[in-house]
């Protein structure tokens, strides 16, 4: 490529995420130099806008004005438009209608709009809402009530058909026709007015090869139909004067992204060439449509290949679309001008403002990128549009400009720019159903083209939602123009003056991605859609590919028992020896613990603020050494590039999060220096390793970290960096070694303060028993375990199949399914199961299995041969049992080592959840069909598996979401999104039941638990929107009973507990736009109260009731007597239970068998403050029995730590699931 175009491509890359203020300053200078007659522009714009308002009738604008996105009614309309027409069964469709109509106040909108159509819609929705809502028999007798009761006699099908017709009407407003023939027929009336057309075959990005082939065929047929129509009219002379077509490149290939560039250039480019060759036959114009910003570089690569194609020389129908809201837009135009000159072409160049603004903001925040690729203020985009327009008009030899806008000021300003450039060879464009009122009066004097979508009802839904969002946005010109209360002078303000007034500053309510969680700095990501960043990382990885790493005990003590060095091999390429590890023997445990006790007092005595600063320094060092850590995660753990990057980000986030928590709590120094043992897994060898270590260090404890046997090298490098940051070697020791020997020795030593563990349920149970067997002590050892789960996702028939498939692929197969949170059980409503499974199977075939060192690999290896054999045996067993198994054809490269440990992604259809007794840790998804009426039974069956880590739900029905969320027992619940990738401090991670003990990693209770705080006031939790404490009749009744019987201490406890309880509270956590993240606290269930005296049991009872738990009292004389004395409201929350174990070691072995009530295991056991022996006996008893770990909690200073009596549940809702981010689009300038 010539130097000029190379330099211009570099300029495009440099502008990608440039600071907004700098970009706007350049735009201001550029537009000042060319702007002329601003008063004339304003007058022309006022005339155009006034004419549009006079013409305003019963179009879509009044509807969106009456039901804006900021209202419940507007959101209900959005969801109905997005989902109703694609739901396959009537029961689910009716449920959606009842859910949306019954929750909104449609009657409040009656008679508000001057539009007859809008008032009719409001009246119909009001009646529908009354029909859908439950009727209590005490309603009024107005007309709507009467009609609603009459409508109910007609039945739900009538309402459903009426609403389907209404949604169809909305669709017809924005879509030209269901097929190209219908669209051409409908276009004839517009052509008679003078309009031109550019047709677009609707459809979102192809998900499968079949999708891509279908869309390619649809484009080919449309080109032929349009061309033949033109031939029948004897042509139009110039190519620009006739009808054309717009092509979305993502519709032509299922993996249209930069990481799959080789496939795209080999497979998509030939398809595109064939379509353009066909268009050339008919001398028809083709515009390559603009899509998300991460596709721009790849689109330019394809355009360049087409421009240089000799087979297309001499044809000026090649067009491109530039989005002015992208900061790169001016540089893109400069490049295209150079490309046009070099290739001897004149491009048709459509300039748009951009349609994916909300998703661009969200992606940048999710991936923690340096800045946004788009402007955050509409005025800045409007200014950029005019600067770009002038560049197009200044190069008539390179461009035929096509100005797509619905903004009257923009139209007037473009006309002025064109006049100043003496360039009259351009056209305006608008979207069908949106811009015609503006151009109807102009089309006779200026060429205007309508962008006309063509497609079926199902294909139009995402497009329909996008148009509704655009119409309903608070900053939308179309929306505000329809609002006659908006002063036209304000609406038509000059964007140059607005940009000067704001000094180019970004929108104050859209923080930069790195500032999303201030005062904690967000861990920086990498843009894997940036050729420059990819090239830099590739170069760094290439230099590290042959580096050999070593791991061993850190610090290395003299005379420590060590094994011989052994190699650590790459699971994807066993011939790649990543490094060597020297493991410590079991005897090393005592030596390390002694060293920690003897030499770590300096860390314990370090002020909290200083410890926090050291952790933040460690975070910065990890960030600085990111390429090394990414390389290690790829080679040692088999991580893909994206997964390895995620590891580093999560590790950095953990360090900064716990540093921020440490500053918040500012705890005093611990009274002892007993070390914590941290045992981390191989599946997150950096993130979980650092998460455990950072929490322990933040608490002031020395930490002895034992990494997984498979991944010691990345742990060793991370430990060295933490030491470099200033953490004393005695405060952080690394001991690589075998779990069954070294790990067991560490956990059994009575001098440790406790264990943080992530791994299997079986090993967690063994550690629990070891800790419970320790000699009695005043302080029990800490045990925090996260142990995986049988994670389910439930999908009902209202869900969007394409979104579900993408989320299933990520949830089940990303990281080769080796995430604790990964999807194991996919539950599909039977009415949509066949169609969705067919789509899923085809989409699975598009994912690439192979060496994760390659950027285009989607699924890497499982960790070792043992894991591979275990998975293959499981698959074979279910296949032999008659289960239907699907595995896509193997796509491993030909040179793959047979010893590499790859497992192909697998779907297995099963009949009931019980066929999954244990977690299957790999790329295997089990599929279960269910009937809509059996949803609650399905949730109970999932709960009955005993695990409770992650859970996903795809549904557009809010009442279904509420019902399921309230019943599922899982620590992390995700709605309408994938169910992996919890973000530190945003979705605190951890399960319940067999999946873990709590508290959650990256959550507000971890540090208080390690600090053993006696209480945690709700105000200390951080977040926002803490809900008021629930009304608790039982606790109130106990307080009144205490006052009546003169039990002052009990009354005081009730009052204090009521204020301190977290149960029923909810905090909103920060997160990316388009997500609603909440952490709420629920009761553990039942608490066994085993105090030796009545007063103690009453204190325990107060703690239980304050946290919404039921209380179990021993079924002895004292228990029965106390229960009889309590008021009725209290007795309802209390039960008697037999089967208490002996309280003393001497007779613990003669403990009687538990009763059925005890077999259900309480959520916790409460012991008296000084009942050390009794608490120890309970711990041994509970640890020896199967089931979830039950904490035994003793009072301190006469009070129980209420934050330990609740469970944490994280809820993440994708609020943009209906097609766009209404909340972001509703922001005012």
Averaged over 742-769, what is the pLDDT?
A: 96
pLDDT at 419 over 90: yes
| One domain for residues 694 and 746 | yes
**Per the residue annotation, which of 647, 786, 909, 1208 is the catalytic one?**
786
Size of the chain in residues: 1229
pLDDT at 142 over 90: no
pLDDT at 772: 94
Q: Is 521 inside a domain boundary?
A: no
**Per the residue annotation, which of 388, 633, 820, 1167 is the catalytic one?**
820
pLDDT at 357: 93
pLDDT at 1150 over 60: no
Averaged over 936-963, what is the pLDDT?
A: 96
Stretch among 30-34, 432-436, 765-769, 826-830 having the lowest mean pLDDT: 432-436
pLDDT at 106: 64
Dihedrals phi, psi of 778, to nearest 5 degrees: -65, -30
Q: DSSP secondary-structure letter at 904?
A: -
Where does 952-1079 have alpha helices with state H?
958-967, 1006-1011, 1033-1044, 1048-1060
d(CA 186, CA 432): 11
Averaged over 4-12, what is the pLDDT?
A: 93
Evaluate whether 908 touches 818 at the Cβ level (below 8 Å): no
pLDDT at 670 over 60: yes
Q: Is 464 inside a domain boundary?
A: no
Q: What is the DSSP string of 625-652?
A: THHHHHHHHHHHH---HHHHHHHHHHHH
| One domain for residues 55 and 73 | no
Q: Is 582 inside a domain boundary?
A: yes
820 catalytic? Reply is: yes
pLDDT at 103 over 60: yes
- What is the span of the domain harbouring residue 1057? 1018-1213
pLDDT at 1151 over 60: no
| One domain for residues 234 and 263 | yes
Helical axes 608-624 vs 712-724, angle rounded to 10° = 130
| One domain for residues 842 and 747 | no
Binned at pLDDT 50, 70 and 90, residue 115 comes out as low
Task: Mark which of 924, 956, 982 sits at the end of a domain.
Answer: 982
DSSP H or E run through 755:
strand 754-758
d(CA 849, CA 892): 6
| One domain for residues 212 and 360 | yes
pLDDT at 1155: 36
d(CA 755, CA 1134): 34
CATH number at residue 863: 3.40.309.10
pLDDT at 1052: 96
Strand order in the sheet with 732-734: 732-734, 703-706, 676-679, 754-758, 782-786
Q: Is 1109 inside a domain boundary?
A: yes
DSSP H or E run through 1111:
strand 1110-1114
pLDDT at 1148 over 60: no
Q: DSSP secondary-structure letter at 847?
A: S
Q: What's the pLDDT tens digit per position in 509-544?
A: 999 999 999 999 999 999 999 999 999 999 999 999
Query: Distance between alpha carbon 348 and the CA centroid of its chain, in Å?
Result: 38
| One domain for residues 42 and 76 | no
pLDDT at 1147 over 90: no
| One domain for residues 487 and 558 | no
Q: Is 1169 inside a domain boundary?
A: yes
Q: What's the pLDDT tens digit per position in 673-718?
A: 899 999 999 999 999 999 999 999 999 999 999 999 999 999 999 9
Q: Taking every pair of C-alpha atoms in the chain, what is the biggest distance, in angstroms?
A: 105
How many folded domains does the chain comprise? 5
Stretch among 436-440, 1027-1031, 1096-1100 having the lowest mean pLDDT: 1027-1031
| One domain for residues 208 and 134 | no
Compare 1071 and 1159 and report the one with higher pLDDT. Answer: 1071
pLDDT at 1163: 95
Task: Mark which of 786, 817, 840 sits at the end of a domain.
Answer: 786
Q: Is 526 inside a domain boundary?
A: no
Evaluate whether 311 touches 271 at the Cβ level (below 8 Å): no
Percent of the chain topping pLDDT 90: 76
Compare 1198 and 542 and report the one with higher pLDDT. Answer: 542
pLDDT at 1149 over 50: no
Q: What's the pLDDT tens digit per position in 319-360?
A: 999 999 999 999 999 999 999 999 999 999 999 999 899 999
| One domain for residues 230 and 90 | no
Beta bridge partners of 351: 322, 403
Binned at pLDDT 50, 70 and 90, residue 655 comes out as very high
Binned at pLDDT 50, 70 and 90, residue 1143 comes out as very low
Q: Is 513 inside a domain boundary?
A: no
CATH number at residue 317: 3.20.20.220
Task: Give the angle 858-1001-1021 at the CA atoms, nearest 5°.
Answer: 130
Averaged over 638-666, what is the pLDDT?
A: 96
The torsion defined by the Cα of 364, 369, 373 and 378, in degrees rounded to 10, comes to 60
Evaluate whether 279 touches 228 at the Cβ level (below 8 Å): no
pLDDT at 237 over 50: yes
pLDDT at 671 over 90: no
Pair of tokens at residue 1165: 């056991």
| One domain for residues 311 and 348 | yes
| One domain for residues 100 and 183 | no
| One domain for residues 273 and 371 | yes
Q: Answer whether the bond into residue 519 is a cis peptide, omega within 30°.
A: yes
CATH number at residue 1069: 3.40.605.10
pLDDT at 380: 98
Percent of the chain topping pLDDT 70: 90
DSSP H or E run through 929:
strand 924-930
pLDDT at 1159 over 50: no
388 catalytic? Reply is: no
Binned at pLDDT 50, 70 and 90, residue 648 comes out as very high
Stretch among 59-73, 687-701, 875-889 having the lowest mean pLDDT: 59-73
pLDDT at 758: 98
pLDDT at 797 over 50: yes
Q: What is the mean pLDDT of the chain?
A: 90
pLDDT at 220: 97
pLDDT at 373 over 50: yes
Task: Mark which of 756, 786, 816 sits at the end of a domain.
Answer: 786
Q: What's the pLDDT tens digit per position in 391-408?
A: 999 999 999 999 999 999
Q: Answer whether the bond into residue 999 is a cis peptide, omega within 30°.
A: yes
Question: What is the pTM assigned to this prediction?
Answer: 0.94
Binned at pLDDT 50, 70 and 90, residue 977 comes out as very high
pLDDT at 66: 67
Q: Is 994 inside a domain boundary?
A: no
For residue 580, give the 3-state DSSP assignment: strand
Q: What's the pLDDT tens digit per position in 854-871?
A: 999 999 999 999 999 999
pLDDT at 1145: 38
Give percent helix, percent strand, percent coil of the chain, each to the nearest 5: 50, 15, 35
Averaged over 610-620, what is the pLDDT?
A: 98
CA distances from 265 to 5, 133, 211, 256, 1198 (A): 20, 54, 18, 10, 71
Q: Answer whether the bond into residue 805 is a cis peptide, omega within 30°.
A: no
């Amino acid at each position: 490529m010539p130097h000029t175009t190379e330099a211009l491509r570099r300029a495009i890359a440099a502008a990608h995420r440039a600071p907004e203020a700098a970009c706007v300053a350049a735009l201001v200078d550029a537009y000042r130099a060319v702007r002329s007659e601003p008063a004339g522009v304003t007058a022309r714009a006022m005339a155009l806008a006034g004419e549009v308002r006079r013409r305003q009738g019963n179009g879509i604008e009044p509807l969106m004005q009456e039901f804006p996105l900021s209202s419940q009614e507007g959101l209900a309309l959005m969801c109905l438009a997005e989902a109703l027409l694609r739901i396959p069964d009537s029961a689910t469709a009716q449920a959606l209608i009842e859910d949306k109509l019954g929750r909104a106040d449609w009657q409040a909108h009656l008679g508000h709009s001057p539009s007859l159509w809008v008032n009719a819609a409001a009246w119909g929705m009001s009646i529908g809402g009354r029909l859908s809502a439950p009727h209590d028999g005490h309603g009024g007798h107005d007309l709507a009530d009467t009609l609603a009761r009459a409508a109910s006699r007609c039945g739900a099908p009538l309402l459903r058909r009426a609403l389907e017709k209404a949604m169809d009407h909305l669709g017809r407003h924005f879509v030209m026709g269901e097929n190209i023939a219908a669209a051409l027929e409908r276009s004839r009336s517009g052509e008679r007015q003078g309009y031109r057309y550019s047709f677009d075959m609707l459809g979102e990005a192809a998900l499968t090869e079949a999708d891509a082939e279908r869309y390619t065929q649809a484009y080919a047929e449309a080109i032929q139909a349009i061309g033949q129509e033109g031939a029948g009219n004897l042509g139009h002379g110039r190519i620009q004067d006739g009808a054309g077509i717009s092509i979305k490149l993502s519709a032509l290939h299922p993996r249209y992204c930069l990481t799959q560039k080789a496939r795209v250039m080999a497979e998509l480019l030939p398809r595109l060439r064939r379509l353009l060759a066909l268009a050339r036959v008919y001398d028809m114009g083709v515009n390559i449509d603009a899509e998300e910003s991460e596709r721009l570089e790849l689109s330019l690569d394809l355009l360049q290949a087409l421009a240089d194609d000799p087979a297309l020389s001499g044809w000026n129908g090649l067009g491109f679309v530039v989005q002015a809201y992208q900061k790169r837009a001016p540089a893109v135009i400069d490049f295209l001008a150079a490309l046009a000159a070099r290739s001897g072409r004149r491009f048709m160049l459509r300039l748009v403002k951009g349609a994916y603004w909300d998703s661009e903001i969200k992606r940048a925040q999710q991936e923690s990128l340096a800045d946004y690729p788009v402007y955050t203020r509409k005025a800045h985009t409007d200014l950029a549009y005019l600067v770009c327009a002038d560049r197009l008009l200044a190069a008539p030899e390179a461009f035929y400009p096509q100005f797509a806008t619905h903004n009257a000021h923009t139209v007037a300003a473009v006309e002025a720019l064109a006049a100043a450039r003496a360039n009259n060879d351009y056209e305006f464009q608008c979207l069908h159903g949106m811009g015609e009122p503006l151009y109807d009066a102009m089309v006779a004097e200026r060429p205007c083209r309508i962008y006309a979508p063509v497609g079926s009802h199902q294909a139009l839904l995402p497009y329909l939602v996008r148009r509704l969002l655009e119409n309903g946005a608070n900053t939308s010109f179309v929306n505000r123009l329809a609002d006659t209360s908006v002063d036209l002078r304000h609406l038509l303000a000059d964007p140059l003056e607005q940009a000067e007034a704001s000094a180019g500053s970004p929108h104050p309510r859209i923080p930069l991605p790195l500032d999303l969680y201030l005062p904690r700095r967000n861990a920086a990501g990498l843009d894997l859609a940036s050729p420059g960043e990819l090239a830099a990382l590739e170069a760094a990885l290439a230099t590290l590919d042959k580096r050999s790493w070593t791991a061993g005990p850190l610090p290395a003590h003299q005379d420590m028992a060590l094994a011989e060095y052994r190699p650590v091999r790459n699971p994807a390429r066993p011939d790649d020896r990543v490094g060597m590890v020297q493991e410590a023997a079991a005897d090393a445990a005592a030596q390390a613990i002694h060293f920690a006790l003897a030499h770590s007092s300096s860390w314990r005595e370090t002020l909290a603020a200083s410890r926090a600063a050291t952790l933040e320094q460690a975070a910065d060092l990890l960030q600085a050494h990111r390429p090394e850590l990414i390389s290690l995660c790829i080679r040692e753990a088999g991580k893909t590039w994206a997964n390895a990057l995620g590891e580093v980000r999560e590790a950095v986030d953990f360090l900064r999060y716990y540093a921020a928590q440490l500053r918040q709590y500012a705890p005093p120094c611990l009274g002892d220096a007993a070390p914590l043992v941290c045992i981390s897994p191989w599946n997150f060898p950096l993130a979980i390793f650092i998460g455990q270590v950072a929490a322990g260090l933040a608490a002031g404890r020395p930490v002895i970290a034992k990494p997984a046997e498979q991944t010691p090298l990345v742990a060793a490098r991370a430990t060295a960096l933490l030491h470099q940051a200033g953490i004393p070697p005695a405060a952080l020791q690394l001991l690589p070694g075998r779990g069954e020997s070294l790990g067991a020795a560490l956990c059994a030593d009575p001098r440790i303060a406790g264990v943080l563990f992530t791994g299997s349920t079986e090993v967690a149970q063994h550690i629990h028993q070891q800790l419970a067997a320790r000699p009695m002590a005043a302080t029990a050892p800490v045990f925090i375990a996260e142990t995986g789960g049988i994670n389910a996702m439930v999908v009902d028939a209202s869900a969007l199949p394409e979104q579900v498939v993408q989320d299933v692929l990520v949830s089940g197969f990303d990281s080769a399914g080796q995430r604790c949170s990964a999807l194991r059980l996919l539950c599909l409503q039977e009415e949509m199961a066949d169609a969705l499974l067919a789509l899923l199977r085809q989409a699975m075939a598009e994912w690439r299995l192979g060496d994760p060192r390659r950027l285009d690999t989607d699924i890497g290896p499982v960790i070792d041969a043992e894991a591979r054999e275990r998975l293959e045996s499981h698959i074979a067993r279910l296949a032999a049992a008659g289960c239907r198994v699907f595995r896509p054809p193997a796509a491993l490269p030909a040179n793959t080592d047979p010893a590499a440990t790859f497992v192909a992604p697998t779907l297995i259809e099963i009949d009931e959840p019980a066929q999954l007794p244990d977690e299957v840790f790999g790329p295997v998804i089990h599929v279960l069909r269910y009937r809509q009426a059996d949803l609650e039974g399905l949730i109970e069956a999932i709960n009955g598996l005993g695990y409770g880590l992650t859970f996903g739900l795809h549904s557009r029905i809010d009442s279904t979401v509420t019902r399921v969320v309230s019943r599922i027992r899982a620590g992390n619940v995700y709605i309408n999104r994938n169910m992996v990738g919890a973000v530190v401090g945003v979705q605190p991670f951890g399960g319940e039941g067999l999946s873990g003990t709590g508290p959650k990693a990256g959550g507000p209770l971890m540090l208080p638990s390690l600090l053993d705080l006696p209480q945690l006031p709700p105000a200390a939790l951080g977040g926002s929107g803490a809900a008021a404490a629930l009304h608790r009749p039982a606790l109130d009744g106990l307080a009144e009973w205490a006052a009546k019987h003169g039990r002052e201490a009990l009354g005081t406890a009730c009052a204090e507990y009521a204020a301190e309880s977290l149960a029923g509270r909810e905090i909103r956590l920060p997160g990316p736009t388009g997500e609603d993240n909440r952490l709420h606290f629920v009761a553990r269930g039942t608490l066994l109260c085993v105090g030796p005296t009545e007063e103690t049991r009453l204190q325990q009872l107060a703690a239980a009731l304050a946290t919404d738990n039921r209380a179990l009292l021993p079924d002895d004389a004292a228990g029965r007597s106390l229960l009889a004395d309590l008021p009725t409201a209290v007795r309802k929350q209390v039960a008697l239970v037999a089967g208490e174990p002996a309280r003393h070691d001497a007779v613990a072995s003669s403990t009687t068998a538990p009763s059925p009530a005890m077999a259900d295991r309480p959520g916790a056991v409460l012991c008296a403050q000084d009942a050390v022996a009794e608490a120890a006996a309970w711990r041994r008893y509970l640890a020896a029995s199967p089931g979830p770990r039950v904490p035994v909690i003793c009072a301190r200073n006469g009070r129980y730590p209420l934050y330990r009596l609740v469970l944490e549940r994280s809820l993440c809702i994708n609020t943009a699931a209906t097609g766009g981010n209404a909340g972001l689009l509703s922001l005012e300038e």
